[in-house]
A and B are shown apart, each in its own frame.
Chain A
Amino acid sequence: MTDLWVAFLDHLPGNWEVFKQWVYWEFLLKALWLVTKMAAIAIVLSIVIGTAMAVARLAPVRAVRWLATTYVEGFRATPLLLLLFFVFFGGGRIDMSWLLNIPFGDNLVDDAGRIDRFWAAVVALTLYNSAVVAEIMRAGILSISKGVIEAGRALGLTYLQTMREIAVPMALRRMAPGLVSQLITLFKDTSLASIIGVFELIRRGRLIYENPANGNAIEVLLVVGLMYFIPCYLLSLVAARLAEGPETRAVMDATRAPGAETKVGVGA
């Protein structure tokens, strides 16, 4: 099997020497696992915070609405790299050694009490993506017919209970395709963590090709690109499949490119 693989690489144009050795694949696949972990933690946190922000943006209290709107509009319109620099370099200026004393907190900071690179990236990704998820969820909650929410209120549920028990579960199901496409964006954006020194895919790829003995930037970057492409493409297929369901079709038709609803009108 390995002989076949080596023979295959020999016939490709370019310098594929490193990819004949399992250690290089292991080196990159470990990074893929790290990236997957980072994306998974960030998307879970983003959905939790984003949903809370969506509920807060529709809340009956004006101050809450205003605060949530500031959070969402602010973080959504800022470059992610800027947020990353803000969290990482800014976090490095604040002494957070108190985190060392609480359970799990010692993962978040290094021994000197400065923020850990991996978690700085997770925080920045969460700040940006929770704002985007909040917008998706808000559209989802608004797409539920008013009668359903009013029925909940009429049954004596509070605003928060109505949201938690009725609106949010419905919106989550309807907005699943949008959330999956946001996960694709998030997965790609984990590459930014390389800039603050996390040893993820791109940085490890650079370590390989910047070694003068290898010097094969084209080949390594193609392999790294494939490692991003495969999960992202599969996720985009999942998103397309989810969008086909009857539950989401009505919403997608309404929120997709406006004018989609003219399909019936003009030609008939």
Chain B
Amino acid sequence: MMLVFFVSGLLDWIVGLAQFARDVVQIIQDNPSQFRDGYWLTIELTVLSMVFATLFGGIVALLRTSDFWLLRFFSGLYVEAFRNTPLLLQLYFFFFALPKFPRFDLPLYGEVTWLLSPFEAGLLGLTLYTGAYTSEALRSGLISVDKGQNEAARSLGLNYVQTRLYVIVPQAVRIAIPLLTSIFSALFRNSALVSVIGVTELLQAADNIQQRNFLTFEAFTAAGILYLALTLPLAWASARLEHRVGRSSR
């Protein structure tokens, strides 16, 4: 008797799960353009801000390891300030507080109004927030390059800038790649936050759909699967790369 109850319960559960999976697929099929546009915007934001954050983080990492204390101080201030405050606060700051700064005229450019569109504010916030993390990843790469490399390059007659650019940086980037990959994956997840300043990316698209048809679980599960389709491969790639780099440097 118990067994019958157990088996029928299990069957019910499986049938319910299959029905739910069908509903999730259905909701994507019913709103193809909304999901596609949202997905595309999420990818666009993430890729753009990752490129900017890596370049900016690289510059900051070089400043943080420079010989001049003033540069070290200000780059350190930037990293600590942006790493220790929430991304949401930074997005609000760039979107709501920035326009309150006094306007002024810039020659050749015109009036600087400080006004940003939601997309621009989101891009700026994601870039500066992620830049603090990429700079730390690249800095740990720079630090772990052997001192002998620096000394060898200098004694071969390369100057400070040449040594950094041609000898230290390539090795540092190679070491930092696994960390950068996991930061990239985190950036994908963080990009969901720009929905709060009015960018219709993937999460906002799903929210719009669920507010219309009340299929809350289905809409958010669909969005979740679309996010996982990007973040899971990145997480695996990061683990694989870490393994490979760790092995080859030995």
Q: How near does chain B come to A42, taking the closest CB pair, in angstroms?
A: 15
Question: Is B141 part of the binding interface, using a Cβ–Cβ cutoff of 8 Å?
Answer: yes
- Interface contact B192-A79, CB-CB below 8 Å: yes
Q: How far is the CB of B85 from chain A (nearest CB, A)?
A: 5
Q: Mark B228-250, 1 if CB is under 8 A from A, else 0.
A: 10011001000000100110011
> A259 contacts which chain B residues (CB < 8 A)?
141, 144, 175, 245-246, 249
* Residue interface mask B18-29, A partner, CB < 8 A = 1: 000000000000
Complex Cα distance, B83 from A80, in Å, reads 17
Contact present for A82 and B224 (CB under 8 Å): yes
A-B contact pairs, 6 of them (CB 8 A): A78-B228, A86-B216, A221-B93, A229-B80, A262-B146, A262-B249
How many A residues touch the partner, as a band? 35 or more
Q: Are B144 and A217 in contact (CB under 8 A)?
A: no
* A16 beta carbon closer than 8 Å to chain B: no
| Chain B residue at smallest Cβ distance from A187 | B86
B100 and A224 form a contact (CB under 8 A): no
The 8 A-B pairs with the shortest beta carbon distances in the complex, nearest first, are A267-B148, A258-B246, A232-B84, A191-B86, A79-B192, A77-B231, A217-B97, A79-B189
Separation of A257 and B93 alpha carbons in the complex (Å): 33
A82 touches B203 (CB 8 A): yes
A82-B223, A265-B250 are known contacts; what are 4 more A-B pairs with Cβ within 8 Å? A79-B191, A85-B220, A93-B217, A188-B87
Whether the pair A89, B189 counts as a contact (CB closer than 8 A) is no
A184 touches B224 (CB 8 A): no
Contacts of B34 in A (CB 8 A): none
Residues A76 and B89 in contact in the complex (CB < 8 Å), given A81-B192, A257-B179, A263-B144: no
Band of interface residues on B:
35 or more
Q: Are A257 and B192 neighbours in the complex by a CB distance under 8 Å?
A: no
Which chain B residue shows the least CB distance to A218?
B97
Q: Which of A82, A194, A218, A228 has the most CB of B within 10 A?
A: A82
Establish whether residues A86 and B217, one from each chain, have CB atoms under 8 Å apart when the complex forms.
yes
Judge whether A229 and B140 touch: CB under 8 Å.
no
B149 interface hit (Cβ, 8 Å): yes
Q: How far is the CA of A256 from the CA of B245 in the complex (A)?
A: 12
- Tell me the bound Cα distance from A191 to B100 in angstroms: 23
For residue B196, which residues in chain A have a CB less than 8 angstroms away from its CB? Answer: 195
Least CB separation from A76: chain B residue:
B235
| In the complex, residue of chain A having the shortest beta-carbon distance to the beta carbon of B137 | A257
* Least Cβ–Cβ distance between B83 and chain A, in angstroms: 8
Which residue in chain B gives the minimum CB-CB distance to A93? B216
Given the interface pairs A191-B88, A194-B88, the reply to whether A258 lies near B227 with Cβ below 8 Å is no
Residues in B neighbouring A233, C-beta threshold 8 A: 80, 84
A192 at the interface (CB under 8 A from B): yes
**How many angstroms from the CA of A188 to the CA of B91 in the assembled complex?**
13
Contact B249 A89 (CB under 8 A): no
B65 within 8 A of A: no
Closest approach, in angstroms, between the C-beta of A165 and any C-beta of chain B?
A: 30
Instruction: Please determine whether A232 and B85 come into contact, CB atoms closer than 8 angstroms.
Output: yes
Question: Is B96 part of the contact surface with A, judged by Cβ < 8 Å?
Answer: yes
Q: Does B163 contact A (CB under 8 A)?
A: no
Measured CB to CB, the nearest residue on chain A to B249 is A259
User: Within the complex, what minimum Cβ distance (angstroms) separates B40 from chain A?
Assistant: 17
Q: Mark B140-165, 1 if CB is under 8 A from A, else 0.
A: 11001011110000000000000000
Q: Are A77 and B232 in contact (CB under 8 A)?
A: yes
Known contacts A79-B190, A79-B203; A202/B245 CB under 8 A? no
Bound: A217/B114 CA distance, A: 14
Whether A257 contacts B89 in the complex (CB less than 8 A), given A82-B203, A90-B217, comes out as no
Q: Is B128 an interface residue (CB 8 A)?
A: no
